[in-house]
């Protein structure tokens, strides 16, 4: 009997929807927007944050907190951590691989041979890495490679004969020995790897990293392990804390004395590793949860819209519902019918929203990606996503059917069957509808204010004075340390020739070299201790002094003014008196109002004495969010260790950026170094990509604000149209008694603006109350920024006035005689 009633309700609901296609489409569209939004963001949250690794018993995995770690630390953890059955270390990076004839940057997972055993993976073809493949040193390492399933399919069309073929990585030949399972994309979610190789092979591939396996101060690895049976994460972490100091002391033999005390204070611990460790997750976790809160608000607004639609349907059907009650149908039966209708609308909206989310989630992933770090995650819905969609559809149905069910429960069969009952029901419905519209307006203002805050914050960041001229400035990165490079051992000669070629390129006005480019997007090197020329030692570890090694002409090229002293000269070479140029922040901090020119400092506490020969204007070093940092500049020819351990980048001031100029620059580099890895990028691009978080939030918030405004104004227009219809006789009487049509139009618009004002006031309170939640995403303005709030309110009221104009205009054109004849 129950299923028969449900089936009858479904068929009846279909007939009702067919009678009211306009209202049905409006309701489904509103739900598709709300449900599609929450589904899209939750799908991304699931893929980046919640989804466990596709490995055996992922909840037994743990990773070491506060990465990264040195290889000696990994060896000590592997030997001492009795609470773990296996331990492995890894690092993800892009290396140059030669798949066919061309060399191209390829995401590579460098890992110890225990990785696949620890994860419990089975190969899709061949075999996986084994401990014997990596050993404990580069001498024991084997040049073997394991492909990801995606790379195997893309590069070799999943041909089993790929096993045994040779793949050259950084010029070193590797034998392909196997393929990982199809659903495994690595242990760093969002950072997949096409190839996995033993990390102990790295010193044989890269000369600049030859000492990395032995250096305890070189932190570059992430460490993960599998707990032994019977251990929980909490108990294992407690046991790990007892051995951690022993690990630090065992690896401190080669630590510099000035750094030893700090090294021994480092902390770590065990964290649940079921979802792996992901820099993408660390970067975007808070932003994704913020977006989830915003789309949840949009869903609430969509539910208010659908509640209004169903209230309108209940008002139209009140005689039908009264008749059904009079014929013996129980109020519970009526409530069931309305709930089934709402559930069908929600299911249709959820289906459309899901289809929308499959496209929108991929778009969001593209917004997360940059030219230097592509984010790739699996967006295939899993069980959590399906359960979430079903749960949200059910909750939304309960929310937006509540008001129509309560309204229907108050219908009295007797008087509702009388003709006079029409106006009373309409008045009750109008009050409820206006209340729901006020809720929508409040949500709309909140989302509009949020989008205005985020857009204004992004705009102000982009307009930040970086201290130098960022227009028409190119950054050329040549990896001179790659085995593919022709730089050789005489890097001074190499960089001199490279700089000469770049300066002679048509369209290039000036060129320079530096260790870190403008807008480095990474911290780089620093000193936290220096000795002033009066013998005072100053240590400031919380606010470190950053350093950069540059060539003469660097400040001219990037457009950074020298405010005192001189630039570096070609005579500032190795063997000449050591010199340094400081920025204004350094000069203010350590020299006050005294002139620093000619003064001496000893950086690092034990280095050579450096004479200050110049002071430059403060400039952005890492990204636009930071305050002005203290920076010192050294002539790169006086720091030969820089040339030994790192590649320099070239800055080019050009007349205008174009494809032809970029190709000319590329050709100039290739004349000096035919095969070194090379990238060319504008500083403007670096700035834009450094703000990927802010851009993501601003774009999505603006979209949600626009959708919520559309829903709110559509609902307001519909309510005012219903109000005009319900009060046709009253309006006709006013006109018949001499009221001006302009006054009637003003009456309707005032009522609409009153509803909007009530909703806007509530929305303003919601916005201010939620200010603390969004303040961490605002770096240039506060959550109560008056310009952003005023802009949001202005947009809301202007749009409200436009939405209420048509109903008001229709009211002003009512024919008094025709209106007075309406029952």
Write the DSSP string, 74-141: HHHHHHH-TTEEEEEEEEEEEEEEESSSSEEEEEEEEE-TTHHHHHT---SEE----HHHHTTSTTT-
At 69 the pLDDT is 92
pLDDT digits (tens, 9 = 90+) for 736-782: 666 666 776 777 777 778 888 888 888 889 888 888 888 888 888 88
Q: Average pLDDT for consecutive 10-residue bins of the chain (823 residues)?
A: 62 73 82 92 91 92 89 94 94 88 87 95 95 89 94 93 93 94 88 92 84 85 94 95 93 80 88 88 88 92 84 65 60 75 88 89 83 78 90 92 76 55 51 79 89 90 88 93 85 92 94 90 61 58 78 94 93 90 89 87 73 93 82 90 85 93 94 90 88 88 88 75 62 64 72 82 87 84 88 86 74 60 52
pLDDT digits (tens, 9 = 90+) for 101-120: 778 889 999 999 999 999 99
89, 118, 222, 223 from 112: Cα distances, Å: 6, 11, 11, 10
Do 334 and 409 form a contact (C-beta atoms < 8 A)?
yes
pTM of the complete model = 0.84
Dist CA 352 CA 344 (whole Å): 12
Q: Find, among 810, 822, 817, 819, the residue nearest to 741 by Cα.
A: 810
At 600 the pLDDT is 84
Dist CA 49 CA 421 (whole Å): 55
272, 350, 780 from 59: Cα distances, Å: 7, 32, 41
CA neighbours within 13 Å on the CB side: how many for 573?
A: 5
CA 162, 166, 171: angle at the middle one, nearest 5? 145
The phi-psi region of residue 461 (left if phi > 0; otherwise alpha if psi is between -120 and 50; otherwise beta) is alpha
Do 40 and 361 form a contact (C-beta atoms < 8 A)?
yes
Q: Cα dihedral sign for 587, 592, 593, 597? A: negative
Dist CA 186 CA 280 (whole Å): 13
At 748 the pLDDT is 73
Dist CA 48 CA 189 (whole Å): 6
Q: Find, among 4, 33, 28, the residue nearest to 343 by Cα.
A: 28
Do 10 and 344 form a contact (C-beta atoms < 8 A)?
yes
């Amino acid at each position: 009997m129950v299923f028969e009633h449900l089936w009858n309700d479904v068929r009846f609901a279909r007939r009702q929807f067919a009678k009211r296609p306009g209202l049905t489409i409006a309701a489904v569209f509103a739900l598709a927007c709300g449900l599609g939004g929450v589904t899209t963001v939750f799908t991304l949250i699931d893929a980046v944050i919640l989804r466990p690794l596709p490995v055996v018993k992922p909840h037994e995995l743990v990773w070491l907190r506060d990465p990264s770690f040195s290889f000696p630390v990994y060896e000590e953890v592997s030997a001492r951590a009795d609470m773990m059955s296996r331990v492995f270390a890894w690092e993800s990076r892009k290396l140059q691989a030669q798949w066919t004839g061309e060399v191209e940057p390829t995401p590579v997972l460098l890992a110890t041979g225990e990785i696949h055993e620890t994860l419990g993976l089975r190969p899709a073809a061949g075999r996986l890495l084994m401990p014997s493949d990596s050993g404990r040193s580069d001498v024991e390492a084997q040049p073997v490679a394991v492909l990801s399933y995606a790379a195997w399919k893309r590069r070799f069309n999943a041909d089993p004969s790929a096993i045994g073929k040779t793949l050259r990585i950084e010029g070193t030949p590797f034998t392909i020995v196997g393929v990982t399972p199809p659903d495994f994309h690595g242990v760093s979610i969002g950072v997949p790897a096409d190839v996995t190789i033993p990390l102990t092979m790295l010193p044989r591939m890269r000369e600049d990293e030859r000492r990395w396996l032995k250096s305890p101060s070189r932190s570059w690895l992430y460490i993960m392990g599998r707990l032994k049976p019977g251990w929980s994460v909490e108990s294992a972490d407690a046991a790990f804390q007892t051995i951690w100091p022993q690990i630090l002391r065992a690896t401190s033999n080669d630590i510099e004395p000035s750094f030893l005390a700090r090294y021994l204070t480092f902390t770590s611990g065990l964290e649940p590793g079921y979802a792996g460790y992901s820099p993408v997750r660390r970067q975007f976790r808070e932003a994704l949860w913020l977006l989830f809160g915003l789309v949840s608000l949009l869903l609430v607004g969509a539910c208010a819209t659908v509640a209004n639609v169903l209230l309108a349907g209940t008002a139209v059907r009140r005689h039908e519902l009264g008749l059904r009650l009079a014929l013996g149908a129980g109020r519970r039966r009526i409530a069931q019918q309305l709930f089934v209708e709402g559930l069908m609308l929600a299911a249709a909206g959820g289906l459309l929203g899901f289809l929308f989310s499959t496209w929108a989630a991929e778009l969001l992933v593209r917004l997360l990606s940059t030219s230097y770090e592509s984010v790739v995650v699996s967006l295939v819905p899993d069980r959590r996503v399906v359960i979430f969609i079903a749960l949200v559809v059910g909750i939304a149905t309960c929310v937006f059917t509540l008001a129509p069910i309560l309204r229907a429960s108050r219908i009295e069969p007797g008087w509702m069957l009388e003709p006079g009952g029409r106006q009373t029901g309409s008045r009750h419905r109008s009050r409820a509808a206006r209340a729901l519209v006020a809720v929508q307006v409040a949500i709309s203002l909140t989302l509009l204010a949020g989008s205005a805050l985020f857009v204004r914050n992004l705009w102000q960041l982009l307009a930040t004075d970086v201290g130098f001229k960022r227009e028409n400035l190119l950054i050329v990165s040549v990896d001179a340390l790659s085995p593919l490079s022709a730089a050789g051992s005489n890097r001074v000669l190499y960089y001199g020739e490279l700089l000469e070629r770049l300066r002679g390129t048509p369209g290039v006005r000036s060129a320079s070299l530096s260790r870190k480019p403008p807008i480095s997007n990474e911290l780089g090197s620093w000193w936290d201790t220096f000795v002033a020329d009066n013998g005072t030692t100053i240590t400031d570890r919380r606010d470190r002094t950053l350093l950069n090694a540059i060539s003469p002409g660097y400040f001219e090229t990037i457009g950074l003014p020298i405010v005192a002293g001189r630039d570096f000269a070609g005579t500032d070479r190795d063997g000449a008196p050591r010199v340094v140029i400081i920025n204004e922040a350094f000069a203010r901090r350590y020299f006050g109002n005294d002139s620093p020119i000619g003064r001496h400092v000893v950086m690092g506490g034990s280095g050579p004495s450096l004479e200050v020969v110049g002071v430059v204007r403060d400039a952005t070093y890492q990204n636009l969010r930071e305050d002005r940092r203290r920076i010192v500049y050294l002539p790169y020819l006086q720091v030969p260790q820089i040339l030994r351990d790192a590649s320099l980048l070239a800055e080019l001031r050009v007349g205008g950026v174009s494809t032809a100029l970029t190709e000319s620059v590329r050709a100039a580099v290739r004349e000096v170094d035919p095969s070194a890895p090379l990238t060319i990028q504008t500083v403007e691009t670096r700035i834009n990509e450094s703000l990927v978080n802010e851009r993501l939030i601003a774009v999505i918030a603006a979209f949600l604000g626009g959708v919520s405004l559309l829903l709110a104004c559509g609902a307001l227009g519909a309510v005012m149209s219903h109000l005009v219809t319900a009060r046709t006789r009253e309006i006709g009487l006013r006109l018949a008694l001499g009221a001006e049509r302009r006054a009637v139009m003003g009456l309707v618009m005032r009522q609409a603006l009153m509803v909007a004002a009530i909703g806007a006031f509530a929305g303003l309170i919601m916005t201010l109350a939620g200010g603390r939640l969004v303040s961490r995403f605002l770096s240039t303005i506060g959550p109560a920024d008056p310009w952003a709030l005023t802009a949001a309110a202005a947009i809301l009221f202007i749009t409200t006035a436009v939405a209420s104009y048509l109903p008001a205009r229709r009211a002003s054109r009512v024919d008094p005689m025709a209106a007075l004849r309406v029952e």
